[in-house]
Structure 1
Amino acid sequence: MSNVNTQLFYAKHDIITKEMEFVANSEELDVNLIKNEIKKGRLIIPANINHKNLNPIGIGIATKTKINANIGSSSIENCIENEVIKTQTSIKYGADTIMDLSTGGNLDEIRKAVIANSCVPIGTVPMYQILHDLKDDILNLSVDKMLSTLEKQAKQGVSYFTIHCGFLLSHMPLIAKRKMGIVSRGGSLMASWMMHHHKENPFYSAFDEILDICRSYDVSLSLGDSLRPGCLADASDDAQFNELKVLGELAKRAYDKDVQVMIEGPGHIPLNQIERNVEIQKELCNEAPFYVLGPLVTDIGAGYDHISSAIGACVAAWKGVAMLCYVTPKEHLGLPNANDVREGIIAYKIAAHAADIARGRINARVRDDAMSDARYAFRWEEQFSLALDSDRAREYHDESLPQDVFKGAEFCSMCGPKFCSYKISQNIFKEYKGA
């Protein structure tokens, strides 16, 4: 293992790093605020020392809401080039981090290619590689195999691991009461291992060794929610909150060893329960950054779960969640392609941005105000550039008015030249100015 100090170590010793300065400049915040938030455990900068082309980002309540894009191969589709395209698409449309959740093909080479083509932090769920290397026989999992996989990925430049370490053997009876049991892949694998061996979760038992690896490369931990609810009926139950309590205890242990940590959250949650979930997480986890999947606020949005989840994500971020894990239209249905990645990212960029405005983030509304000015003045090219998805805005405008002359027109195809409210308003003000 290498000998390195982490961003948390430096913050505790009141040392400002170049990563802290980069984040402060990009967020338009004082660097001492960034340092102090890291020092409190309320902000992390996932920045593995081996990810050489990384542009650091801050994840925490003091910074803008971040979004993560999940990509990855499967046993059915495992082309390295496709994962590179998904990586490039994620960055183009604004993902702040990318998780490589590959489960099929040459996982080491896929991960290597993803990291090489990414300027944003890359996260993984090491359990997927462990299972792959064990030829899908989770019962043969050993602590040595687990730790060697983590260190291999750390050496490659992975900036954060999702590990399912808070799911304990004592939680198993709580799951029996659920409609959908365990929906986390990592959680279900741990359940199989624990029930077969009648032993405690090895990620929990070997947590100190995991922290040693993370500290050696400044890998952050995303403490995974194995027992997140997979449907509204299971939301906010004893299984979910008992695991969350354990995650809070583990977060404190990580903090004591100078390892940066964030907490993963649900899942499927009714809209009216989201704020309570955020408050409970803050209380149990010492306000460590909260990173949630959605949450989806309905179970019947198949094909449109990027929308049903973005609704929940916006509320969650408004109430204090630091990072949102996107959901694509393919959620529950299949492996997303590059276009699905685009759709999921834009839905979540909208949710994150709306939440930042609601939370009064510094300069959060500047772009919106510029868009309003451009719309009222019919500056079409400026409108395209200000849109979260510039390509889509241009595509839709040009479906009916593709000629260049219409880029200077004072109307669009919805109202036409005679019924544009902007133009009518301008004419009224011009005619009756001073009246």
Structure 2
Amino acid sequence: MTQMLAARAGEITPAMRRVAEKEKVSPEFIRAGVAAGTIVIPANINHKSLDPVGYGRGLKTKVNANIGTSTSFPDIEKELDKLKVVLEAGADAVMDLSTGGDIDRGRRRIIAESTITVGTVPIYQAFLENREKRGNMIEMSADDLFEVIERHCADGVDFITVHCGVTLEVLKRLKGQGRITDIVSRGGSFLTGWMLHHGKENPLYEQYDRLLDICLKYDVTLSLGDGLRPGCLADATDRSQIQELIILGELVDRARAKGVQAMVEGPGHVPLDQIAANIQIQKTICKGAPFYVLGPLVTDIAPGYDHITAAIGGTVAAAAGADFLCYVTPSEHLGLPTLEDVREGIMASRLAAHAADIVKGVPGAMEWDREMAKARKALDWQKQINLALDPQRAAKIRRERNPEDHEACTMCGDFCAMRIVAQYLGKEPEFC
């Protein structure tokens, strides 16, 4: 019994109740959204440490952080250190994108130690294992791919990114389109190479019912990946991207018909003035399925600052209806992120998510800002720190740059506007 099938049967599961409690909405609101497919609760039956989270219409915008080994840095212990940062920084989900070392062992440890939603991209491991076994990734069979998918699901992964919409028809449009960056998705590129080499259709599309059966078995949520997401502004919103999205919309229908939860992934690099249109198109074609976006990044020229680029686009996307933001770190396009990069990426995306939630009217969003405003007026520094998105950083700056027990901050000193106006209005703040 998946969350969706239970919701359709009128049942409010413990996971639905927990999500309702977190979101400050009624359990019936959550149940109805899950039944309709406009809310998903990724909650694999084998992820025992999970504190479930909801993603979708009427809920807070959520943030995902990516971690994982590479062939250059295969040490899982370093990625587990990043997981601790992910949890401390307040992300709602973590994706293990490992491509180096003992991938099975690393994934199982991440699932065991994570109280938040865990996602993976199984095709990475499927291709890498075939390179080890046969000396060539391209010789992977459909059975090889589905065996790895089931292994991830059996281990307790809550959602899997699967590039089911990268079809021969879409690749034909890509060739005719003439992109600058072609395909920047790793999963999309692996499948494209396989399809062109074998002259066969994408097995994830051709055997989609087989994929759904695995998801039903473990209650795994499908994250329908955007293999044709634009890798630069010039490639945004082209025919191949939209053609893939049309196919994903049809696959959302098929997942819902079976009782499998599904969300849809989106771009990518998108000019600011195209973001809202991209969200509207997706929500229409995919009938309100939760939308999970990477960024979007609103310029291509900011290596080292792409967490800011993504936060700008993420705010616009979430305000327009996106439900789930995948973080981007300062090291995007440059290298594997450090612990500090992970933290900065999460905070930038959380800031974008909250700014959008104010626009959406999400319960509690505007109230948080109102409380901060009151604390600032009262010069209540401890409350300001407690209310800060990142209390740790706020406290550090306050401590290092202001004399002890100094009433105002050193930016204004004796000329604190709050203090001056309060004196004339007879509302002298009480220093705390």
TM-score by length of 1: 0.95
CA shift for structure 1 position 369: 1.4
Q: 2:68, 2:76 within 8 Å by CA — same for their partners in 1?
A: no
Q: Which amino acid aligns with 1:254?
A: A
- DSSP-derived class of the 1:24 partner: helix
- DSSP-derived class of the 1:99 partner: strand
Structure 2 equivalent of residue 161 of structure 1:
160
Q: Which amino acid aligns with 2:281?
A: I
- 1:59-70 aligned within 5 A: 59-70=55-66
**CA deviation map 1:360-411 (0-9, x unaligned):** 111212221111111121221211111111111111112223x6x32xx321
CA shift for structure 1 position 431: 8.6
Structure 2 equivalent of residue 414 of structure 1:
411
Q: 2:127, 2:138 within 8 Å by CA — same for their partners in 1?
A: no
**CA deviation map 1:210-265 (0-9, x unaligned):** 11011100000000000000001000000000000000111111111111000000
Structure 2 equivalent of residue 429 of structure 1:
425
Aligned equivalents of 1:267 and 1:349: distance in 2?
Answer: 18
Aligned equivalents of 1:24 and 1:54: distance in 2?
Answer: 16
Structure 1 equivalent of residue 240 of structure 2:
239
Structure 2 equivalent of residue 392 of structure 1:
393
- 1:17 partnered with 2:17: no
Structure 1 equivalent of residue 228 of structure 2:
227
- 1:142-161 aligned within 5 A: 142-161=141-160
Structure 2 equivalent of residue 43 of structure 1:
39
Q: 2:128, 2:137 within 8 Å by CA — same for their partners in 1?
A: no
Q: 2:62, 2:92 within 8 Å by CA — same for their partners in 1?
A: yes
Structure 2 equivalent of residue 249 of structure 1:
250
- DSSP-derived class of the 2:114 partner: coil
Q: 1:328, 1:340 within 8 Å by CA — same for their partners in 2?
A: yes
Change in Cα spacing, 1:421 to 1:192, as seen in structure 2 (3 Å) is same
Aligned equivalents of 1:60 and 1:400: distance in 2?
Answer: 41
Aligned equivalents of 2:149 and 2:363: distance in 1?
Answer: 38
- DSSP-derived class of the 1:221 partner: strand
Structure 2 equivalent of residue 113 of structure 1:
109
Aligned equivalents of 1:118 and 1:337: distance in 2?
Answer: 19
Q: Which amino acid aligns with 1:202?
A: P
Q: Which amino acid aligns with 2:167?
A: L
Aligned equivalents of 1:272 and 1:109: distance in 2?
Answer: 44
- 1:184 partnered with 2:185: yes
CA shift for structure 1 position 115: 1.0
Q: Which amino acid aligns with 2:410?
A: S
Q: 1:68, 1:326 within 8 Å by CA — same for their partners in 2?
A: yes
**CA deviation map 1:302-350 (0-9, x unaligned):** 1101101111110110011110111000110001111111000000111
Q: Which amino acid aligns with 2:409?
A: C
Q: Which amino acid aligns with 2:147?
A: S
Q: 1:67, 1:352 within 8 Å by CA — same for their partners in 2?
A: yes
- 1:175 partnered with 2:181: no
Q: 2:61, 2:322 within 8 Å by CA — same for their partners in 1?
A: yes
- 1:72 partnered with 2:68: yes
Q: 2:64, 2:91 within 8 Å by CA — same for their partners in 1?
A: yes
Q: 1:68, 1:325 within 8 Å by CA — same for their partners in 2?
A: yes
Aligned equivalents of 1:89 and 1:149: distance in 2?
Answer: 28
- 1:203-218 aligned within 5 A: 203-218=204-219
Q: 2:153, 2:220 within 8 Å by CA — same for their partners in 1?
A: yes
Aligned equivalents of 2:357 and 2:312: distance in 1?
Answer: 14
**CA deviation map 1:156-179 (0-9, x unaligned):** 110000001101112223223111
Give RMSD over aligned pairs: 1.2
Q: Which amino acid aligns with 1:269?
A: V
Q: 1:410, 1:423 within 8 Å by CA — same for their partners in 2?
A: no
Aligned equivalents of 1:190 and 1:138: distance in 2?
Answer: 10
Aligned equivalents of 2:324 and 2:100: distance in 1?
Answer: 27
Aligned equivalents of 1:430 and 1:380: distance in 2?
Answer: 21
Structure 2 equivalent of residue 124 of structure 1:
120
Structure 1 equivalent of residue 296 of structure 2:
295
Structure 2 equivalent of residue 6 of structure 1:
2
Structure 2 equivalent of residue 310 of structure 1:
311
Q: 2:142, 2:203 within 8 Å by CA — same for their partners in 1?
A: yes
Q: 1:293, 1:324 within 8 Å by CA — same for their partners in 2?
A: yes
Q: 2:40, 2:262 within 8 Å by CA — same for their partners in 1?
A: yes
Structure 2 equivalent of residue 52 of structure 1:
48
Q: Which amino acid aligns with 2:150?
A: E
Q: 4+ residue stretches of structure 1 with deviation over 3 A?
A: none
**CA deviation map 1:103-146 (0-9, x unaligned):** 10111111111111110010000011112211263211111111
Structure 1's unaligned 5+ residue stretches are none
CA shift for structure 1 position 94: 1.1
- DSSP-derived class of the 1:276 partner: helix
Aligned equivalents of 1:344 and 1:178: distance in 2?
Answer: 28
TM-score by length of 2: 0.96
Once structures 1 and 2 are overlaid, which stretch shifts more, 388-397 or 231-240?
388-397
Q: 2:44, 2:158 within 8 Å by CA — same for their partners in 1?
A: yes
Structure 2 equivalent of residue 262 of structure 1:
263
Structure 2's unaligned 5+ residue stretches are none
Structure 2 equivalent of residue 359 of structure 1:
360
Q: Which amino acid aligns with 1:75?
A: T
